[in-house]
Copies of this chain bind each other. A is one copy, B any other.
Amino acid sequence: MDIGILGTGVVARTLGGRLDRLGHDVLLGTRDPAQTLARTEPDRFGAPPFARWQEAHREVGLGTFAQAAAHGELVVNATAGAASLDALRSAGPETLAGKVLLDVANPLDPSSGFPPALAVSNTDSLAEQIQRLVPGARLVKSLNTVNASVMVDPAALADAEHSIFVSGDDAGAKAMVTDLLRSFGWRDVVDLGDLSTARGPEMLMPLWLRLFGALGTPAFNVKVVR
């Protein structure tokens, strides 16, 4: 499948690399590809410059946000939450109309110190903000509750005996995303319901950040025990 990924950070790279290995045709999108490729320093999280990552992932293309959106039958929002709405405006709401849009971002407010607070929560969510901006997209929220490495390889943690959530208004889009999740190795995919249910997984982030602190590793997840 042709897949566009908005973003070039660790989440976008990890998803892009995994999807490429699974045989998909992946194009990452960024605001200014030339600038992204020209970087020679690690980013603020210590990730190596994009050009070095791409040397090991020659099959994964790089274009603008709009090119990635046009490329994908499925488009993934893997930008930082604070940059997501701008990225989607650049990607083009009309280009995304009718496409499945998988949003994996968390609306962390980088100006709020550590641990960061959420920029939107409780009575609204980043997912709902995105849907209002891109009303024609078939939006699904998922994967935002785990670290990038857990996203693409859940079996590396407790033999995948843990849970991932999907929220969205479009049953067909949720089915496509669920198939993709299963191809990553996810076994317990919990459909929470319509897109407003994304508030729940987004509001898990404050607990996730504290568990990260308490456990000393981002390689964890929750299992819904019932």
Report A's interface with B, CB cutoff 8 A: 112, 117-118, 121-123, 157-158, 161-162, 165, 190-193, 197, 199-201, 203-204, 206-211, 213-215, 217, 219-226
Tell me if A200 and B207 are in contact (CB < 8 A): yes
Q: Known: A209-B200, A214-B193. Contact between A225 and B222, CB under 8 A?
A: yes
**One of B123, B192, B193, B226 near A117 (C-beta < 8 A):** B123
Q: Is the beta-carbon distance between A222 and B223 smaller than 8 angstroms? A: yes
Contact present for B190 and A214 (CB under 8 Å) = yes
Q: Are A213 and B225 in contact (CB under 8 A)?
A: no
Closest residue of chain B to A162, judged by CB?
A: B225
Which residue in B208, B214, B223 is a CB contact (below 8 Å) of A191?
B214
A3 to B81, CA, bound (A): 45
Further contacts, 15 of them, CB under 8 A, given A158-B225, A199-B206, A215-B226: A117-B123, A118-B122, A121-B121, A121-B122, A122-B122, A162-B225, A192-B210, A192-B213, A200-B206, A200-B207, A201-B207, A211-B224, A221-B224, A221-B225, A222-B224
Residues A200 and B192 in contact, CB atoms below 8 Å apart: no
Contact A220 B224 (CB under 8 A): yes
Instruction: Give min CB distance, A29 to chain B, whole Å.
Output: 30
Considering the complex, give the chain B residue whose CB is closest to the CB of A216.
B226
Taking a contact as CB atoms under 8 Å apart, the answer to whether A217 and B207 are in contact is no
Residues of chain B with a CB closer than 8 A to A190's CB? 211, 214
Whether B206 pairs with A122 at a CB distance below 8 angstroms is yes
Q: How far is the CA of A217 from the CA of B224 in the complex (A)?
A: 12
Partner of A226, one of B197, B209, B217: B217
A225, B121: Cβ atoms closer than 8 Å: no
A191, A206, A208, most chain B CB atoms within 10 A: A206
Q: Which 7 A-B pairs have the closest CB atoms?
A: A200-B207, A220-B226, A222-B222, A162-B225, A203-B203, A200-B206, A223-B223
- CB A41 to nearest CB in B, in angstroms, measures 32
Cα-based distance from A117 to B192 in the complex (angstroms): 17
